[in-house]
Amino acid sequence: MSKITRREAIGTAALGVAGAALTGGTATIASAQEPVRIAAFAGNHMPKPLRFDPAKLTGLSERLITSHWENNYQGSVRGLNTIETRLAAAMNDADFPPVAYAGLKREELHRTGSVVLHEYYFGALGGNGNPGGSIYEALHSWFGSFEAWEAEFRRTALSLAGGSGWCVLSWNAHTSSLHNYWAWDHMHGAVTGAPLIALDMYEHSYHMDYGTAAARYIDAFMANLDWEVVDARYLAATA
């Protein structure tokens, strides 16, 4: 499990304030009426199962993948459901404190990003790492060669080693172009970027197998990419 960051500590404090507001004071005004149900804050997200056998990946242990999927990813799913439930309650409380609402909205963005990026991460594993398809030709076109793209992708990922964040190959719908984006804290990607490959560079994603040897983890990730999945994402994003 990863260490608690300063941002997570701030978010936890904000949730404590929000929880207090929901259990006392003016939050009880909704007791006389049935709370309005809000579809946007249904809080019913379910974890997606792995599409591959975690015991059969190359260079990524079953123990690492299982821990990552069960603890980090599913923890974010549960966290997002909790946040949405509290946002729904807050919308039924006209006197809910703005400072507490700000904490909930920050956590909503953080948890949403974590859930989405983890699903892109796990969803592209289970392949043999051999590139092909339209995405191969597109990367050659945008970066001069596939090899040049891969070198830049790896460099971007390594720039996050020892810290926290994601390296994301995205199709930017606004500029109609491919880019490797540096995404910190689950929520700093390009606004119109459609993820094609999401590489988790938080230490929890590799420390169990590789310690601080982040470059070896990146090698293993690339060796297990399913490029048919990546190509399908590219075709859908550019359709």
* Domain edges within the chain: 6-123, 134-238
Please state the CATH superfamily assignment of the domain spanning residues 134-238 in this structure.
Answer: Iron/manganese superoxide dismutase, C-terminal domain (3.55.40.20)
Per-chain mean pLDDT for the chain:
88
Pick the residue with more confidence: 112 or 24?
A: 112
pLDDT tens column, 155-207: 999 999 988 899 999 999 999 999 999 998 888 888 899 999 999 999 999 99
Instruction: Say whether pLDDT at 227 is over 70.
Output: yes
* pTM summary value: 0.84
First to last CA, the chain: 39
Give the pLDDT band of residue 116 (cuts 50, 70, 90): very high
Instruction: Say whether pLDDT at 22 is over 90.
Output: no
* Residues 170/183, Cβ–Cβ less than 8 Å: no
User: Tell me, what's the pLDDT at 216?
Assistant: 98
Cα separation, 93 vs 167, whole angstroms: 39
Can you list the pairs that 143-152 forms with residues at least 24 positions away whose Cβ atoms lie under 8 Å? 143/178, 149/178, 149/180, 150/222, 152/180
Task: Report the pLDDT averaged over residues 90-108.
Answer: 94
Cα separation, 211 vs 191, whole angstroms: 33
Percent of the chain with pLDDT over 90: 76
User: Tell me, what's the pLDDT at 25?
Assistant: 39
Cα separation, 125 vs 104, whole angstroms: 32
Cα separation, 223 vs 202, whole angstroms: 19
Cα separation, 22 vs 135, whole angstroms: 48
* Residues 133/233, Cβ–Cβ less than 8 Å: no
User: Tell me, what's the pLDDT at 184?
Assistant: 86
